[in-house]
Amino acid sequence: MSGPLAGTVWWDGRASRDPVLPRSLDHPGGGARPVTVGEWLRHDSRRLLPPDRGRPDAE
């Protein structure tokens, strides 16, 4: 992928009829900056999921 979102992590929700969206570490704010691959590698990948999608801190 090229352009301003090159090197970012995406959620492919097509299997559950959800959209394909860039992942972020700041879900509640909306419009947050997409997370880069390097940032993703430094975090628990579950932290990149929205709160209602199985994040451990959502319990």
Give this prediction's pTM. Answer: 0.55
What burial class does residue 38 get, using C-beta atoms within 10 Å of its C-beta: 0-12 exposed, 13-18 middle, 19+ buried? exposed
For tokens 């390097």, name the residue. 38
pLDDT tens per residue, the chain (59 residues)?
A: 688 888 988 888 899 888 888 888 776 556 678 888 888 888 776 666 666 665 455 44
- What are the structure tokens assigned to 43, written together? 């975090």
